[in-house]
Chains A and B, each alone.
Chain A
Amino acid sequence: MARTEARAEILENTETAPEVFRLRLQAPAIARDAAPGQFVMVRCSESTAPLLRRPFSIHDVFGPDVFGENAAGEGESGIVLLYRAVGEGTRLLSAKRAGEFVDVLGPLGRGFGPFKENSRALLVAGGMGVAPFVFLARRRSAQAEITLLLGARTWRDALCLEDFAGMGVPARTATEDGSLGAKGLVTDLLGEAFRTGAPDVVCACGPAPMLKAVAALCLQEGVACEVSLEAAMACGIGVCLGCAVAKRPDGQGYYHVCADGPVMRAEDLYASGRLAAL
């Protein structure tokens, strides 16, 4: 597993929705080695405030290097991160301009498992959880029939729909206030999708309660399900043991989100069967 720490030039850092930023970084080695679902740790400040790096999933990759056309890594090649400026670190990051540099460590962790040839995959996203799915769809849309189910609070929080449209990936949307797509939760869309024919695999990313609900549905229906977890992280490389998440209730001990995840199989995290739905 190749992992690099690089001072990456910022090519673009623009607000694409209220408080949501798209950060394009020149990082050829990370782009070359990245797999969908993996993440990077970014140092948002040169000082000790905040001290620790922040984890971000890889939203997209770009450049000739990534597609094997330019082994020398000339020209623009790197990764894209999508983040909401909510805390101290992300607000500092959002103030950085093109031409400045940030320190990036990655790619890190374990991404989404391979899709079977010609399989049907449902990507279930809640809010910012859509971020890694652009990279996933970009890599996999030729080999699997992918559909995106996107849940958001309002139409303003429904991100990246144009990216999926550009890749020809169909998307269904649910908003809590009904301002875009169906009124309700993304799990309503999932239940509906199951009724019209179960997919081969479900990939989910979003808030913890959403992941739990998606996993419960999949475990009940016997559909393979992978969820992308979040946890507080200090190192991102499996040494601090801070990012623990409990193994499924009948198991013992903990996984480490940065090393065993962030993408994990639902059956490794949640109790199966009817219990899970309770």
Chain B
Amino acid sequence: MSAAPSLGVTVGRISMANPVCTASGTFGYGLEFSPHLDLSRLGAIAVKGLSLLPAPGNPPPRIVETASGMLNAIGLENIGVEAFCAKKLPLLARFRTPVIANIYGTTMEEYARVAERLDREEGIAGIELNISCPNVKKGGVAFGADPKAAARVTRAVREKTGKTLIVKLSPNTARIADIALAAEDAGADALSAINTLTGMAVDISTRRPRLANITGGLSGPAIKPVALRMVYETCRAVRVPVMGVGGISNAVDALEFLMAGATAVQVGTANFVNPRAALDIADGISAWLAQNNIKDVRDVIGALET
């Protein structure tokens, strides 16, 4: 039997043992999943979006299931960057898995200050800039829908950190390639795409929206074809590595994103259905490569034939 295929990939300066990372907001602060999988075996862990101060989030109901997906309007509830560094990060240090801190702010200064704080932490491998969350009134989506604003916030954070900087793109725009280019020009080391698609559900018996926030972000298998197309367009527009996100539930889904050009993938909603999903996907990619006599996962990245 031949040796196991090589699964390692590099995103910015982050060396991942395999191309599978968990997606922000679907994996808590990481430790919650340790009863179900060995966190050391993941390619990387992206934690829940952090803000400068703790944030309470939106009123309930915050989630509703839809056809092959779900809508959420969590409103970026989190414990704040300080509590994360003090209480969660030290526990993640036991695992050799790179930790990516997802961050957001309502102003450019807030983004910069969160990045500055995280830059001091040895346990942080990368910073993922959420310029795309549809569930906060200010900030978030405004930065994500306008190339100039995206460039400005990327630059502001770039000035504060030497860590690998990943800009997470919003699908809620017709110009994803322009925004990707703007972020790359402003100093992003990598991009991730996509965040959730803005959506809505109505309870016809009460004539009310099913979410207190009225609209929310759609995730899960329902969005995979859209995510794949956007990742493909993004990869064609930029040189930096792209992490593909959106509806990935199994190894075949992940391989589709890799072939479309993604250097790595992030697994989100699937973690809720199968708490071992990220690891099952990494193992599935390895098995598929072995079956097809492919020695290195990098040989399938961007291997799409058109």
Task: Check B273 against A244 for contact (C-beta < 8 Å).
Answer: no
Stretch at the interface among B58-66, B235-243, B295-303: B58-66
> Which residues of chain B come closer than 8 Å to A49, judged between CB atoms?
67-68
Task: Check B63 against A48 for contact (C-beta < 8 Å).
Answer: no
Task: Check A43 against B273 for contact (C-beta < 8 Å).
Answer: yes
B25 in the interface (beta carbon within 8 A): yes
Given A238-B28, A239-B28, is A244 in contact with B60 using a C-beta cutoff of 8 Å? yes
As a 0/1 sequence over residues 50 to 64 of chain B, the CB contacts with chain A under 8 angstroms (1 = contact) are 000000111111111
Interface size on A, residues (CB 8 A): 30
A9 in the interface (beta carbon within 8 A): no
> Which residues of chain A come closer than 8 Å to B65, judged between CB atoms?
50-52, 232, 234
B5 in the interface (beta carbon within 8 A): no
Task: Check A51 against B269 for contact (C-beta < 8 Å).
Answer: yes
* Interchain CA distance A231-B249 in the complex, whole Å: 25
B117 in the interface (beta carbon within 8 A): no
B96 in the interface (beta carbon within 8 A): no
Given A239-B27, A252-B56, A254-B77, is A52 in contact with B273 using a C-beta cutoff of 8 Å? yes
A246 in the interface (beta carbon within 8 A): yes
Which single residue of chain B is at the shortest CB-CB distance from A3? B35
Chain A-chain B contacts (Cβ-Cβ < 8 Å), number = 95
> Which residues of chain B come closer than 8 Å to A50, judged between CB atoms?
65
> Which residues of chain B come closer than 8 Å to A48, judged between CB atoms?
68, 220-221, 249
Given A48-B68, A235-B271, is A240 in contact with B25 using a C-beta cutoff of 8 Å? yes
> Which residues of chain A come closer than 8 Å to B8, judged between CB atoms?
none
Interface residue ranges of A219-274 to B (CB < 8 Å): 231-235, 237-246, 252-254
A110 in the interface (beta carbon within 8 A): no
* Interchain CA distance A235-B48 in the complex, whole Å: 14
B21 in the interface (beta carbon within 8 A): no
B12 in the interface (beta carbon within 8 A): no
Which single residue of chain A is at the shortest CB-CB distance from B56? A253
Chain B at the A interface: mostly helix, strand, loop or mixed? loop
B99 in the interface (beta carbon within 8 A): no
> Which residues of chain A come closer than 8 Å to B61, judged between CB atoms?
231-232
Which single residue of chain B is at the shortest CB-CB distance from A53? B273
Question: Which interface residue of A4, A51, A53 has the most chain B CB atoms within 10 A?
Answer: A51
Task: Check A239 against B70 for contact (C-beta < 8 Å).
Answer: no
* Interchain CA distance A55-B3 in the complex, whole Å: 43
A200 in the interface (beta carbon within 8 A): no
Question: B21: shortest Cβ distance to chain A, in Å?
Answer: 15
Interface residue ranges of B75-91 to A (CB < 8 Å): 77
Given A48-B220, A48-B221, A51-B68, is A241 in contact with B273 using a C-beta cutoff of 8 Å? no
> Which residues of chain B come closer than 8 Å to A234, judged between CB atoms?
63, 65, 70, 72, 269, 272
A5 in the interface (beta carbon within 8 A): yes
Task: Check B35 against A239 for contact (C-beta < 8 Å).
Answer: no
> Which residues of chain A come closer than 8 Å to B58, judged between CB atoms?
244
* Interchain CA distance A231-B63 in the complex, whole Å: 10
Which single residue of chain A is at the shortest CB-CB distance from B62? A242
> Which residues of chain B come closer than 8 Å to A232, judged between CB atoms?
61-65
A130 in the interface (beta carbon within 8 A): no
Question: A237: shortest Cβ distance to chain B, in Å?
Answer: 6
A105 in the interface (beta carbon within 8 A): yes
Apart from A52-B272, A235-B272, A237-B32, what are 13 other A-B pairs with CB-CB below 8 Å?
A4-B35, A5-B276, A49-B68, A51-B269, A52-B273, A235-B271, A239-B32, A242-B62, A244-B57, A244-B58, A246-B60, A254-B57, A254-B77
16 A-B Cβ contacts within 8 A? A5-B276, A48-B220, A49-B68, A50-B65, A51-B70, A52-B65, A234-B70, A234-B72, A237-B33, A240-B72, A241-B25, A241-B62, A242-B63, A243-B62, A254-B56, A254-B57
Q: Give me the 4 closest cross-chain CB pairs, A-B, nearest first.
A: A239-B28, A242-B63, A48-B68, A253-B56
